[in-house]
Amino acid sequence: MKAIRKPTQAALAASLGIDPALVTRYKRRGMPVTSVAEAVRWRDANIRVRVGEATELEAVSGTVDGEELARSASSMLQTAGDLLQYGGDASALVPSLRRALAAVPPSWRVSVLAPPNILDTLTADVARAMDRGDPDGLLFGVLYQDNPVKGEVDMGAFWYAAAAGEVLVRPLRA
C-alpha cells in the first residue's frame, strides 16, 4: 500500500489561491497542512476576507478570461456553422451558443468570429420582426440593453446582441 503524502506548501498555496508566504503565516496560526480540504475548511472558519478595489492581478485575470471566453464562443460558433453547412440541425445548440456569446465581455466581442449561416440562425427572430415592419397596427419594439444613445446604435454590436439573445422583440400597441 502506498503512503499518502501531504501536499507541498506550493500546492497548498495554489489550491487556496494565495501566495506561498501566506501559507507559512497561516500554518503558524494553526492551519492544518495534511490535506487541501482541511486547509480550506480551516481558512473558511478562521480567515476573514477583506473586499477592496480590484488589484492589477484581477484586472489582468479579467482580460485573460475575456480572451478565453471570446475564443471559446468562436470555436462553438464555428462548430455549429460546420454542422449547418453539412446539413445538420443546430437548433438544439442555440441556447448554449447564446450563453457563450452573452458571457463574452463587451470589450472582447469584436474578436468573436462566426460563420454567416449560424449568425443567420441566431438572429432570425429579430430579422423576421424587422422585415414584418408594422403589420396589423402593431409597433415592434426592440429592446437593446447596451443602447449607448437613443437613435444611435452600433449595428455590429446590435446584431451581436441579437445573436446573444440580448435583443428582445415584442409587439407594442401604438
What is the chain's mean pLDDT, rounded? 76
Q: Where are the alpha helices (DSSP H) in the chain?
A: 9-16, 20-28, 36-46, 56-85, 94-103, 116-132, 155-163
Contact 41, 51 (CB under 8 A): no
Contact 78, 115 (CB under 8 A): yes
What does the alpha-carbon distance between residue 8 and residue 36 come to, in Å, rounded to a whole number?
10
All three cell numbers of 139, joined, read 409597433
The pLDDT assigned to 22 comes to 87
All three cell numbers of 70, joined, read 471570446
In tens, the pLDDT along 31-51 reads: 998 888 888 888 888 887 655
Amino acid identity at 163? A
| Alpha carbon distances (Å) from 144 to 26, 98, 115, 149 | 49, 15, 23, 11
Q: What is the mean pLDDT of residues 144-159?
A: 59
Q: Tell me the pTM.
A: 0.54
